[in-house]
Chains A and B, each alone.
Chain A
C-alpha cells in the first residue's frame, strides 16, 4: 500500500446539545431509569466464567481465566491475586484506535480492579491468580460501570468465592439534573459525574469515582441515586445467575 495515502475522516453526526427535552431524555427514559439491560453468562466456553453485557449501545464481554499459579514476580502471598485487564476494541469509539494498551485502558483496568477486588475472597486461592479480561465492543457510555457489574457476574459464573455481587452504575449531572446511567452523548454534556460500585447486600462501597465540583448535599443526592441504581442492577444480576444455574 502506498505510504502517502491521506486519510480523510468521514464527517460525524454532531453530538446533541440538549439531552433533556421536557423532562425526558433523548431515548425516552426518565432521569432515574436504566437503559435496557441484557446480561448472559457462559458465552465463552473456554473461559472459567464469562459474561456478555449490553446496555443499549454499550456492549462488552468479560472472560475469567484461572485460578492459575501466580507469576514468580508476585512473590509469596497468602492472598490470591486478581489481574484485571480492559481492552477497547479499535472500532469501539468514534475514531479508530490502535491496538495496544492506551492510558485510558490502563486506568480503567486499575479502577475495575479496585471495584471488584473488595468483593472477592482472595484468601480462598493463595499463591494463585485469577485473570479478569474485559473487552469493550462498543462504547456507548458507562463502560466502566457495566464492566464492573459484568466482571462480578463472570467471577460468580466462574465459581470464584465472593463476599457479595458487586454492582455499579453512573450518575451524571447535566444542566443541574441528575441522570442515572448516562449514554455517551449525555456524558459529553455533563459537568459532573459519579461512578459508584458497591456490594448491595453487605451495604459497602467498593469504588467511588467523582468528577466535577459538587456541594455536600448534591453529592449525597447523587450517591443515593447511585445506590438505588446499584440495588436495581443487583436484582437483575441475581436473576441472571439463578436462570443460568436452573433454567426456567
Chain B
C-alpha cells in the first residue's frame, strides 16, 4: 500500500531525473556477485543489487527426458521467497509471486516446444537419447527483496549456471546386446564439463513512473510504477523475452523507448557477472 502523495512525489521526482537515492533514471544500484558459494551444489551464486539479495543454485542429476523431447536434457526452475524476506511474500500470495518469477525466468532460457530457439543448449545435456539425460534443478532464493528481484535472480542464475560443473558421463554398451547400456560417471571430481552460458539473457525490469521509463526500481518505486516491463536481453543485445505487468496501458512509442533502454543497459549488467566468474577462475 502506498499513499497517493507518495506516488506523486516519486513521479514528480522521476520527471526531473531525480530519484530518492540520488540515481538517474537509467542508473543501476551497485551490483556485487560471487560464485561457488555452496559446496553441496553443482553450481551456485550469490548476488546483491542494492538492498536486494538473492542466491541461485544449480543441482545436477541424471534423469529421464520427457517423452516429447527425447533428445534433450531437462530444466526445472523454482523460486522461493525466504520467510524472513518480506511481509507481502507470505502465504498463497507469496506462492503466486514466486511461481510467476520462476515462469518468467524459465521462459527466457527454455527453447520452444519443438526445441528451436532457447538460450541453453539442452541437446548437449542428453546422455542416452530417450532414456537418460542430465536434469538441471535451478533454485532461486530471495533473501531480501528491495525491488528488481527478477533482475537479480536472472543475473544470479546466469552466474550459477556458469559455475555449474557437470560430471563426465559415458555410455557403456552392456555385454548382452539385449540389455540396456550402462552409464558410467567419471568419479574424478576434477573432470567435468561446463555449460555454455553465452546466450543466457539477463532480465531487466523497467518501470514507467510518471510516464518515464526507469530502470532498477526499489521496492518503493515499484509500488509507484504505473506499469512494468520485464525485458530479457542477451549479450548481443537481442531481446529474448518480454512480459508486462501493468495496471495501465503503455503507448507503443514509450514501449519502444523502454525496449531501447533495456538493450542499452544490459551489457553493463552482464559484465558484472562475467567479472565475478572470471575472478573465481583466476583465484
Residues of A at the B interface (CB closer than 8 Å) are 15, 103, 106-107, 110-111, 114, 117-119, 187-193, 198-199, 202-216, 219-220, 223, 227
- Nearest Cβ in chain A — how far from B115, in angstroms? 9
Q: Are A189 and B116 in contact (CB under 8 A)?
A: yes
Main SS at interface, chain A: mixed
Bound together, the chains give a CA A103 to CA B245 distance in angstroms of 18
B242: chain A residues within 8 A (beta carbon)? 208-210
List the one stretch of B24-32, B129-137, B214-222, B246-254 in contact with chain A: B246-254
Could you tell me if A203 and B252 are in contact, using CB atoms closer than 8 angstroms?
A: yes
Q: Which chain B residue has the least Cβ–Cβ distance from A202?
A: B249
- A-B residue pairs in contact (CB < 8 Å), sample of 28: A106-B99, A107-B99, A118-B249, A187-B113, A188-B112, A188-B113, A192-B112, A193-B112, A198-B252, A203-B252, A204-B250, A205-B250, A205-B252, A205-B255, A206-B246, A208-B229, A208-B242, A208-B243, A208-B255, A209-B244, A211-B107, A211-B241, A212-B117, A213-B238, A215-B239, A216-B263, A219-B239, A223-B255
Q: Are B117 and A192 in contact (CB under 8 A)?
A: yes
Specify the chain B residue showing the minimal Cβ separation from A210: B242
Contact A114 B249 (CB under 8 A): no
Bound: A190/B117 CA distance, A: 8
Hey, which chain A residues are within 8 Å of B255, CB to CB? 205, 208, 223
Decide if B244 touches A207 in the complex (CB within 8 Å): yes
Q: Is B114 an interface residue (CB 8 A)?
A: yes
Instruction: Give every chain A residue within 8 A of B107 (Cβ-Cβ).
Output: 211
Looking at A119, A203, A205, A214, the one whose CB has the most chain B CB atoms below 10 A away is A205
A240 to B12 alpha-carbon distance, docked (Å): 42
Which residue of chain B has its CB nearest to the CB of A214? B239
Contact of A110 among B100, B234, B249, B256 (CB under 8 A): B100
What distance in Å separates the Cβ of B184 from its nearest Cβ neighbour in chain A? 32
Cβ of B197 to closest chain A Cβ, rounded Å:
15
* Interface residues of chain B: helix, strand, loop or mixed (majority): mixed
Enumerate chain A residues within 8 angstroms of B99, measured Cβ to Cβ. 103, 106-107
Nearest first, the 4 closest Cβ-Cβ pairs linking A and B are A204-B249, A191-B116, A210-B242, A191-B117
Contact of B112 among A117, A204, A211, A220 (CB under 8 A): A211
Q: Cβ of B259 < 8 Å from any Cβ of A?
A: yes
Contact present for A190 and B249 (CB under 8 Å): no
> Given A189-B114, A192-B117, A213-B240: A198 and B249 within 8 A (CB)?
yes
A216-B263, A220-B256 are contacts. A206–B238 as well, Cβ < 8 Å? no
- Kindly provide the distance from the CB of B237 to the nearest chain A CB, expressed in whole angstroms: 8
A114 to B242, CA, bound (A): 14
B252 and A213 within 8 A (CB): no
Q: B84 at interface (Cβ–Cβ under 8 A)?
A: no
Known: A198-B249, A212-B240. 10 other contacts (CB 8 A): A107-B100, A188-B114, A190-B116, A191-B116, A192-B112, A198-B252, A204-B249, A205-B255, A208-B244, A212-B112
Across the interface, which residues of B come within 8 angstroms of A227, CB to CB?
Answer: 252
- Expressed in whole angstroms, the minimum distance between the Cβ of B4 and any Cβ of chain A is 10
A212-B240, A219-B239 known; A114-B246 Cβ under 8 A: yes
How far, in angstroms, from A227 to B99 measured CA to CA in the complex? 30
**Docked pose: A120 CA to B99 CA in angstroms:** 26
Given contacts A118-B247, A205-B250, A223-B252, contact A215 B116 (CB under 8 A): no
Known: A188-B113, A209-B243. A214 touches B238 (CB 8 A): yes
Taking the closest CB of chain B, its distance from the CB of A216, in whole angstroms, is 7
Q: B103 contacts the other chain (Cβ, under 8 Å)?
A: yes
**0 or 1 for each of B101-123: is its CB under 8 Å from A? (1 = yes):** 00100010000111011010000
| Pairwise interchain contact A219-B112, C-beta atoms closer than 8 A | no
B18 on interface, CB distance cutoff 8 Å: no
